[in-house]
Amino acid sequence: QKEVEQDPGPLSVPEGAIVSLNCTYSNSAFQYFMWYRQYSRKGPELLMYTYSSGNKEDGRFTAQVDKSSKYISLFIRDSQPSDSATYLCAMSASGGYNKLIFGAGTRLAVHP
Amino acid sequence: GAVVSQHPSRVICKSGTSVKIECRSLDFQATTMFWYRQFPKQSLMLMATSNEGSKATYEQGVEKDKFLINHASLTLSTLTVTSAHPEDSSFYICSAMGLDVLDTQYFGPGTRLTVL
């Protein structure tokens, strides 16, 4: 069993839809949770950074962490074609100085 | 803030030659840098971790004599692929962590290496 599980998709939605992306994990020591967006042939870009449980909102993006269920989510409201990318969840036990454990990435396509 | 650059963005070389890839943190001091490799439609695979002024720590299965990493300053790390072979063709991405930024990794744009 992988430490971090993420459905690779692809996920195809119409413009304006609410997108829900999820990861589950097995290591209860994880405290830091991140979502990265990666466009084709580009490096990952940090979208959301969360410590421990709870919600965090930034514009159209909301990150949720439920440590009791070992489950994290990223919601994208009013999705746009420019949101089409691969979304990677990542987590670590004690900040980024520890190795980041990545999910496989979910490919998202938002069509007009 | 927290911008990381890589150079070159794309390189093609002949089998048997060596290739150097640079990773720079442009607006912060990178105390730790990481090198990843990514195959098409796959996630990132960590190759090594380097701290400024120290020898790099390589992940299991990564040949340290083939992938030479130098982190000589707080803003620059280099990855040299020695005696490159076609199977080394891949997308190489660096990331950096450091002072006065969030406690996470910031990624460069990646370098696509093609070995003929």
Backbone angles phi, psi at B105, to 5 degrees: -100, 135
Question: Is A105 near chain B, with CB under 8 Å?
Answer: yes
Tokens of A105: 């990435």
Instruction: Specify the residue for token string 């080394």.
Output: B88
> If pLDDT is split at 50, 70 and 90, which confidence band does B53 have?
confident
> If pLDDT is split at 50, 70 and 90, which confidence band does B105 have?
confident
Q: Do A88 and B112 touch (CB under 8 A)?
A: no
Supply the pLDDT for residue A98. 67
Cα nearest neighbour of A9 on chain B: B41
Alpha-carbon gap, residue A48 to A73, rounded angstroms: 11
Query: Which of A42, A88, A91 has the highest number of chain B CBs within 10 A, making it the mutation to test binding with B?
Result: A42
Residue B10's Cβ-count burial label (10 Å; 0-12, 13-18, 19+) is exposed
**A&B contacts, CB < 8 Å:** 55
Label the pairing between strands B57-58 and B44-51.
Answer: antiparallel
Cα nearest neighbour of A37 on chain B: B107
Supply the pLDDT for residue B79. 97
Alpha-carbon gap, residue B53 to B56, rounded angstroms: 9
Question: Is A25 near chain B, with CB under 8 Å?
Answer: no
Q: Taking all residues of chain A, what is their mean pLDDT, rounded to a whole number?
A: 92
Supply the pLDDT for residue A51. 86
Task: Give the model confidence (pLDDT) of B15-42 as tens digits.
Answer: 999 999 999 999 989 889 999 999 887 8
- Among residues A28, A48, A54, the alpha carbon closest in space to that of A89 is found at A48
For chain A, what is the HEC assignment? CCCEECCCCCEEEECCCCEEEEEEECCCCCCEEEEEEECCCCCCEEEEEEECCEEEEECCEEEEEECCCCEEEEEECCCCHHHCEEEEEEEECCCCCCCCEECCCEEEEEEC
Supply the pLDDT for residue B100. 72
Tokens of B33: 């840098």
Tell me which chain B residues have a C-beta less than 8 angstroms from the C-beta of A96: 32, 97, 103-105
Query: Which of B104, B112, B113 has the highest number of chain A CBs within 10 A, making it the mutation to test binding with A?
Result: B104
- Among residues B103, B107, B102, the alpha carbon closest in space to that of B46 is found at B107
Alpha-carbon gap, residue A56 to B67, rounded angstroms: 39
Tell me which H or E stretch contains B51: strand B44-51
Q: Do A44 and B44 touch (CB under 8 A)?
A: yes
Supply the pLDDT for residue A19. 97
> If pLDDT is split at 50, 70 and 90, which confidence band does A97 have?
low
Cα nearest neighbour of A38 on chain B: B109
- Among residues A45, A48, A50, A46, the alpha carbon closest in space to that of A30 is found at A50
Supply the pLDDT for residue A95. 59
Tell me which chain A residues have a C-beta less than 8 angstroms from the C-beta of B32: 96-97
Question: Is B33 near chain A, with CB under 8 Å?
Answer: no
Supply the pLDDT for residue A106. 96
Task: Give the model confidence (pLDDT) of A31-78 as tens digits.
Answer: 999 999 999 889 999 999 998 888 999 999 999 999 999 999 999 999
Label the pairing between strands A61-66 and A71-76.
Answer: antiparallel
Instruction: Specify the residue for token string 């971090």.
Output: A4
